[in-house]
Structures are given as C-alpha cells and as structure tokens.
Chain A
C-alpha cells in the first residue's frame, strides 16, 4: 500500500504515480484529496485505490479493472466510461454518475445526481439513496438500481437496459415503461447488493424501453440514384432533386434521411483565384523538391504533434457509416502518403490502427466505441461537437448497418436505428468542456494532442471558446461537409459554407489576440490540392479531406449511403457488397489521389515564388465573385468601375 498526499502533489503528478504504482501491482491510498478533479483517471491496472475524503469530477474515469473506494462524496461523472472494475462512493455523487460505462460496478451509498448512467452500455449503477431526474437517460444497456426514489423522467429515451426502483417512480421519461420483473431479477440484484454490503428487503419496480422510438417505421424508398454531381449543379426551382425529395416524403410521411453533404450552390473556393499567372505551374516536376509541405499539428502544451508530410488529414468518417474494408483502405493510404487518418465516431478498428501511422481517435456524445486502451494508443484525440453536414445533431446509423461486430464495438443493441445524443453528457457549456479536456489529457499522460471537431455555425464565438478552453487544434467543418446519414432539412440548410467559416475563425481568434499556438484544420467540400492551397492561404494550418478520398477509393456519389446497400462496398456492412471492395487496390487509388493533391499544392506554391506552403497568404488571392469578396475581404477582380469619374466618361 502506497500513500499519496494530494496536498503536496499536483493531480498530474499523482496520476502518473498512480499509474506507475498500478503497473507494479501496488494498492494506493490517497489522502487530502479535497474534492480535486480527475483522481485516478486512465488507470488500467487491477489494483485498489482508496480515497480518504471527497473527490471531484471524473474520479476513476476512463479506467479499466481497478477498484476504487471514495469514503465521502464525488462530483460529476464518477466512473466515466469504465470497462471493468468498481467504484464505491460512501457519500453522494454529483450529476451523471456512471456515464457511458461499458462494464464495472458503480455504487453510490448516498444520493446521486441527475442523468445518472447517461449513455451507459453495460455494467451496474447502484444507488442506495435517491436519484435526481432522468436516471438512465439514453442508456443503451446495463442495469441501474435505485433503492430510494427515482426522480422525474426516469428512463428518458433509453434504448435498452433495465432500471430497478425500490422507492417511488416519480415519473417515466419518453419511450420508457414499467414492466414485470423477470424471475431471476430479484435474486441477481440481491446478490449484487450483498456483494457491496447494502441491505435491502423491499420490492422493486422495473423500467425498460417502451419501443416507440427505436425504428423508423418506413424506410426511404429505393430510387434511381441521382448522383451528387447532377444534384448539386445549378438548376431552377423545380428540378429533379426537388421532385425526388417530394416523392420520398410522400412515401415516408416524415423528415428524410440521406447521405453526403449539402447539395446546392454556395460560396466555395472555386470563387477565389490566385493573383499571379499560374499558367506554368504544371510544367515543373521538380516543384516537390523545392517546396516544403511538412506540417505539425498539435503540441500547444507540449504533446507530441501529428507530423504530416503535407498539410492534409483524412477527415473523420466512421466504421459503421463506412465498411471495414474501406476504412482499412483509407488507413493504408494515409500511411502511404504520410498523413493522419481519423477513426470517426464509431470506435477504433484494430486493422485501421495497424495500417495507419497516425490515427486520431474521435469521441462522440454517445461514447460509441470509446475506451481507455484505444485512447492510449491513439496519436491524437478529438472531441466531436458537431460536423458540417449536421451541426447540432448527434450521429445516426441505420439498423441495416448495425452488424454484430459493429454492435459489439460500439456497445449498442442490434436491430435498431441508432441515434446518438446531440450533446455530450458532461459538456453543457465551455466551463464543463475545459474539465473534460483535462480528463483526456490526464488519461493519456499529456502526451498526445486533443482537438475539437465543430460544424460551422457561430464560428467566431465558438473558436474563442475552443482557444480559451485550451485545445491543441480545431477541426472546423463547413456546410459542404458530408455524412453517412442525416435529416435532409439539417444537412441542406444548417451551417455556413467552408470559406466563410475559415474567415470567421481567423477573425474570432484575432479579436481575442490569440497567438498562433492553436491550429486550425478546415474541411468541408475541399476537393483537391488547389482548394487546399487556397484554404491555407486564407489562414488554415491544414485541411482534411473525406468525400474526395472516398471518391478516389471508388465511391460513385449516389447519395444513398444511409440505405446500407452501397453497390461499391463503401457505405455498407452487407457482406455481399463489401466482398466487392478490394481495399488494397483502393488504398493505392486513394494514395495516388493524395499524391496528386501534394503535387498541386507544391506546384502552386512554387509558381507563386515561395518555398513553403505556409508562406501563402491572402495577398496571393483574389475574389472572382462579389459574394466571395464580401465573405473573405479579398479584392474583387475585375472589380468596380466608377463610370462617372473614369476616363471612359471623359472620352
């Protein structure tokens, strides 16, 4: 037994010692905790940790296998995302105890706060006292036992799992109902309570999902595919796209779901050009040797940055939205081209981790596939707030794509049309976000960068929060960004275009006199190296490409990703279709595309007279349309002629 005194150790020092002692198999006692946050975060050794006093937020969070005992109180999110082990709280717990747990027993001997067990998927959350409201909110599995009163709206939007209440069920949440106990429930719960020395003799009520919201009753009808290229072109008010949309709504009677991004004209990098004559840009194969494209992303606070051979990342796209094979192809291509890949929001594929040299692991509001071991072998972490195709919405994954493998990885039931919450359980504002960010840094020893993924909306305000909260970099996604499934109303209409988002981000940072220590990665409709060079000239540190990469890898852009029967084998989990996908060949195709992007960036940089792409600036650009000029502040060429005062009038 080792003793750590938090009155003399910082929390980071303490957690380093806890991890070291854990690896040695030494039990740990913590004195003078004084309700500090993040005690024991990221511990993956099966040792005992005793906290003599109270702990703050995220105590025992992101741990796997350890047993914690906190004599007194804990703050928010005790046991966050635990896989195995236990936490016993002698006093009260704050909001969201047991949030996102994948296993483990969380035992609160006093009262617990609101939204207990939010998005939990397995394990037991036991409360010997009363619960505050919305216990079991959006839980996907596992068991909650409340020996006191349940609080209001118990089981709100739960997908699966069970909630047992011995006291009053004060009210039921949406899509929750009371049901009879199974014959084994009472004995199992008594055994569980005995294990933690909680005496109980009363009767229990059981709350489960009522099943009213788990499936879209009518799927979109299969239609003749209308490719994105056609649909996104300029057209009149009534066109094939509008007809298709009305036809589908007539068949389903609800909002429509589809894949891909906003499919309509809007300001884009095409409306911007380079100021100098680039007619010779393509003639010199040696541009690559003269131009530096290397870019480091992250490292604001000393973490090891992503080291990109050019300022390009693969954009986040999940295993789930995409097939395993296509995710492997993207990972392989990222290694071949010396850039980073991103897991997207569905968890880390083992094969993708093996194939990618640099892999960013993304954390979704529903914590699907999120776990400490993959965090510790990621090269960067990313908190997903929203994306360009659907700002303000959580993820959607249709039942057809939820295979047993996917259900197991994400921790969700099979057979349902999955929805993630639109917001993180533990982030209700910028002040919560800073504590969440610190949890991730503590869990990974402050070694890797942590970024935030935002859909572009109120960028000028949001970017300031990201800077003040301390992110290494921001991944900003304009309205043109794509998705595997979203409601068309949001996909088409919510958000601002990528060019405007980038400018607003730079303006916001300038307003608070932020340095250049937080980097900006822009994405959303960036289709080639020319767009990338323009984005970097406007102030991005790097770009991320998703749609372009999967088109290079065989996507035909039919905009029916949500249906789950992608004929190419990309946006599907159906073996008949995925068998068609040759991931080795497609990796090579994606890699060659990325090498084309590299060459384009180098050629433009060289033609403009620079030897480093990061020397590009807005002075190198002009706007080709009045709208682009208004959005960016770039000079409008051909510009305005004041006819009344020009030489023309004199003549």
Chain B
C-alpha cells in the first residue's frame, strides 16, 4: 500500500506542492511541514526541494531569499501567474483522471 501510494504520488507531487503554495508563499521546510499535517508523511524534504527548483526553472514560482535567525537565508517560493495557470490545468487533468477511473471501477463491478 505504502509503495503504491509513493508511486502514484510521483506524478502528482508537483501539483500538490503548487496547490500548497497557492494559499500562501512558503520555504521548503514549511511546505513539507504543511504536507505532513495533511497526511503526506512519506515525502522527503529533498524531493520537495528538487521539485521546487524545477518549478523555479520553469517559471512557475517566484523565489525570494529571506534572512533567517538560524542558518542560511530561506528561499521563499510563491506562485506566480504561470504557476496558477499550471495549477488550474493540473486540477482539470486530475478531474478527468478521477472521473475516468471511477467509471472503470463502476464498469468492473
């Protein structure tokens, strides 16, 4: 079960992170803490960080370096217009997918 969940999460993790950022900006550690609260406990911080870097490169998030009391400056990520567009597309795709899967399940009964 846990393994299947990990596999299925892979393709959706980007959308999950963008959705989490759509509320308010956050830095990597914070995003992971938020996702944990929502029950996504198995996602490594490094994986989230790597995806954030990718989104930054693709221009879906804006990044601001904010000094912190302890340790290095934090890279705070916020969703920009392009990111919002991408997130909308993600939800549309998600709806399509869940609908079809539900149909398959009904059909299989």
* A, B co-complexed: no
Seen from chain B, the residues whose Cβ lies within 8 Å of a Cβ on chain A are: none
